[in-house]
Amino acid sequence: TDDGADLLEVDGVVKHFGGLVANDGVTFGVEEASITGLIGPNGAGKSTLFDCITGVHTPDEGAVRLDGEPIHGLSPTKVARRGVGRTFQTPKTFRGMTVRENMAFAAREQTGETALGALFRPGTIRDEEAEIQATVDETLEFLKLDHLADEYASGLSGGQRKLLELGRVLMMDPRIILLDEPVAGVNPSLTEELLARLEELNDRGRTILFIEHDMDVVMAHCDRVVVMHDGRTLAVGPPEIVQQDERVVEAYLGG
Ligand code: ADP
Ligand code: MG
């Protein structure tokens, strides 16, 4: 939409890797409090776009804005502190930490608290720690991972690890959550669980942008859909409109 109500704006983003153009002028907006699906065939440039939004890459051209403020070129930590949470296609959980430790670690990363700082302000830290632990408990319960709180992340199934990664992101209390293929390779019951949690987060006002290549999942759960193909934005709109777009049908069914 052009009414200025978009929380996240991706504006003509270009990203090259040597001679390859992974993002070739990607443009779309994500409305506040929407669930937006980002779909497109393998190699379309979806994950690269997430990297450009979250500071992993700096776009060669174009802009990314959050609430009207440019965020492209900021470090991943700074982008996260602005309120952009992100999960990766391959979960970045710490396998040698328990579920609870993984969650708390994410929260401490966010406050930027260091061990040295903690030494000088022990009282403050005790309060912060108690608050973090309370949020960890609440979030694990919400994700129905509370029974696994003291398990090592290495012992979780792929799907449970993706839920944990969502949990880590929630610990940072982001305004928008970007998820890279959250249900890929996840068993059907856990997939339903994860999608239900995303819908519930959205009901509470959280903005969600998720990459998914299964058209049916996107159609069932998204308010808006962005279709990428060959590094470009092919179509943007409500799922029922996008689904009938000739270019989309062609890109998916092979033209
Ligand atoms: P998608 O997530 O849609 O499957 P990607 O963004 O991962 O697509 O990749 C888009 C294109 O960019 C692919 O051709 C991929 O090989 C290439 N690519 C992605 N990351 C890099 C990188 N770090 N270096 C070189 N090429 C890359
Ligand atoms: Mg990808």
ipTM tops 0.95:
yes
What's the 48 CA to ligand 1 centre distance in angstroms?
6
Looking up tokens 């403050």, which residue turns up? 124
pLDDT at residue 251, rounded to an integer: 78
3-class DSSP state of 185: coil
Tell me the mean pLDDT in the region 10-25. 97
Percent of the chain with pLDDT over 90: 71
What's the 157 CA to ligand 2 centre distance in angstroms?
21
Are the beta carbons of 215 and 243 closer than 8 angstroms? yes
Cβ–Cβ contacts within 10 Å for residue 97, how many? 15
H helix intervals, the chain = 46-53, 76-82, 99-111, 115-120, 122-142, 158-170, 188-203, 215-221, 239-242, 246-253
Give the tokens for residue 58.
């700096």
Nearest ligand to the CA of 228 is 1
- Residue 93 pLDDT class (50, 70, 90 cuts): confident
What's the 228 CA to ligand 1 centre distance in angstroms?
13
What's the 42 CA to ligand 2 centre distance in angstroms?
7
3-class DSSP state of 231: coil
Ligand 1 pocket test, pick from 26, 47, 48, 218 with the greatest ligand atom count within 8 Å of Cβ, gives 48
Is it the case that residue 114 has pLDDT exceeding 80?
A: no
What residues does ligand 1 touch, defined as CB less than 6 Å away?
17, 20, 22, 40, 42-48
Q: Which residues, including other chains, have CB under 8 Å from residue 58's CB and lie 6 or more apart?
A: 52, 72, 73
